[in-house]
């Protein structure tokens, strides 16, 4: 099946659920047993729930993996991978321009636990060679496109290098979604999604989803989920299942609108620089064309020429359609001030090293009419001139 068809039909057999065309919501905590030791697939919803299982199977199918796991938040999903496969004394190499919440987790929790955390610019795959010579790396953690500067890394090249050295490879695929990029086919062992964002697509769920490439890797991850209990609830799973059914349509619209907005932003006098890998001006444009041929996604980030908090706030306050919010990936257009929001916990000097200025704005371009989006953004940018 093609992706759009697979997104609607994979992971679910209506004959197994009283022929309900849409997956039912099993909003219950436990299931009846007829005798001691009865071997049934569902007993207690922390262990497994039919609605959650349908979602997990669906995303695993879309990512070409062996098994999926739905967690109560994106951070719970990332933590489950790291806690399952890292021990004190192990080394993790993570992309330097990592999501702020993931940075905080590595620095505030895993470093203090005794894990050796190395942040590295992996835009050049050769940089990983040097790290693999110096460190006995257990896990390489990628994020491409990255949040918020939309830098790309060569997934196939980095995965091959890591695997040759005996390291596992995980990747945050949130911005791309499985519609635009399938990292397990490129050599990764785990793929992570903040399902809060594009998989759900309607800004009404908190969830993280992890897909493991093999059954052998899936089993300890499953055990960690059961032991720690950070599972997604059935109602949230149902909402994400509903969202996935329109993922291909929505991502096409996000990509089309984002590319047009990025082009117009490049010509606006209030903008110093636009970060969007679909533009020829982007440092990873050629890699983007090869690695993400269907499209580049719906996020566009900019540097304002007036690199001040006041200018950024003026843009935010003067937009009527585009709202300031903490997340992204919904059908509506949003803006994030990453310095004070997504990367608020990152020290100032590290933000500067990452390129996260106070005058940086991250737009999550929605699927409204593109002229309405542009008119709102453009008028607000004019206030900074």
Asked about 317 being catalytic, the answer comes back as no
- Return the residue matching tokens 């596992």: 168
Backbone angles phi, psi at 303, to 5 degrees: -100, 125
Q: How far apart are CA 188 and CA 183, in angstroms?
A: 6
Sign of CA dihedral 205, 336, 300, 256: positive
Query: Is the bond into 361 cis (omega within 30 degrees of 0)?
Result: no
Cβ neighbors of 244 (< 8 A, separation 6 or more) are 7, 55, 58, 59, 62, 199
Structure confidence at residue 306 (pLDDT): 98
Annotated catalytic, 151?
Answer: no
Which band of pLDDT confidence, cut at 50, 70 and 90, is reported for residue 153?
Answer: very high
What does the pLDDT look like over 281-307, one tens digit per residue?
Answer: 999 999 999 999 999 999 999 999 999
Catalytic residue, from 61, 79, 154, 172: name it.
Answer: 172
State mean pLDDT over 216-232.
Answer: 98
Q: What pLDDT, on the 0 to 100 scale, is given for residue 105?
A: 98
pTM over 0.75: yes
Q: Mark whether 294 is an active-site residue.
A: no
Q: Residue 43 catalytic?
A: no
Cβ neighbours of residue 150 closer than 8 Å, sequence gap 6 or more: 175, 275, 276, 277, 282, 296, 297, 299, 300, 301
Q: Per the residue annotation, which of 26, 79, 90, 99 is the catalytic one?
A: 99
What integer pLDDT is reported at residue 111 of this predicted model? 98
pLDDT class of 246 with cuts at 50, 70, 90 = very high
pLDDT attached to residue 274: 98
Catalytic residue among 161, 197, 264, 351: 197
> Which member of 43, 46, 163, 357 is catalytic?
46
pLDDT tens digits, one per residue of 26-85: 999 999 999 999 999 999 999 999 999 999 999 999 999 999 999 999 999 999 999 999
Q: Model confidence at 155, in pLDDT bands (50, 70, 90)?
A: very high
Give the integer Cα–Cα distance in Å for 128 and 28: 47
């Amino acid at each position: 099946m093609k992706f759009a068809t697979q997104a609607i039909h994979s992971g679910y057999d209506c004959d197994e659920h009283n022929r309900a065309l849409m997956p039912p919501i099993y909003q219950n905590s436990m299931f009846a047993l007829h005798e001691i030791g009865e071997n049934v697939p569902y007993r207690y919803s922390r262990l497994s729930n039919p609605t959650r299982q349908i979602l997990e199977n669906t995303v695993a199918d879309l990512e070409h993996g062996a098994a999926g796991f739905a967690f109560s938040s994106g951070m719970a999903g990332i933590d489950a991978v790291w806690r399952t496969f890292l021990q004190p004394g192990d080394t993790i190499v993570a992309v330097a321009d990592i999501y702020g919440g993931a940075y905080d987790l590595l620095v505030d929790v895993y470093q203090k636990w005794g894990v050796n955390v190395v942040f590295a610019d992996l835009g050049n795959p050769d940089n990983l060679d040097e790290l693999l010579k110096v460190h006995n790396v257990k896990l390489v953690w990628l994020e491409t496109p990255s949040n918020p500067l939309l830098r790309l890394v060569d997934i196939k090249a980095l995965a091959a290098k890591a695997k040759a050295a005996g390291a596992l490879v995980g990747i945050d695929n949130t911005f791309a979604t499985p519609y635009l990029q399938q990292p397990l086919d490129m050599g990764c062992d785990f793929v992570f999604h903040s399902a809060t964002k594009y998989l759900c697509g309607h800004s009404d769920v908190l969830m993280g989803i992890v897909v493991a490439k093999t059954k052998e890797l899936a089993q300890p991850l499953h055990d960690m989920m059961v032991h720690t209990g950070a599972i997604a609830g059935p109602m949230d799973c149902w909402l994400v299942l509903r969202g996935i059914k329109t993922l291909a349509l929505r991502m096409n619209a996000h990509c089309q609108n984002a590319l047009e907005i990025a082009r117009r932003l490049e010509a606006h006098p209030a903008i110093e620089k636009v970060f969007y890998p679909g533009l020829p001006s982007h440092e990873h444009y050629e890699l983007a064309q090869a690695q993400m041929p269907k499209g580049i996604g719906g996020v566009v980030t900019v540097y304002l020429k007036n690199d001040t908090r006041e200018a950024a706030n003026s843009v935010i306050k003067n937009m009527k359609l585009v709202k300031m919010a903490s997340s992204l990936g919904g059908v509506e257009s949003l803006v994030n001030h990453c310095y004070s929001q997504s990367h608020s916990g990152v020290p100032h000097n590290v933000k500067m090293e990452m390129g996260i200025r106070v005058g940086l704005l991250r737009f999550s371009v929605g699927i409204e009419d593109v002229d309405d989006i542009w008119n709102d953004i453009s008028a607000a940018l004019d206030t900074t001139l």
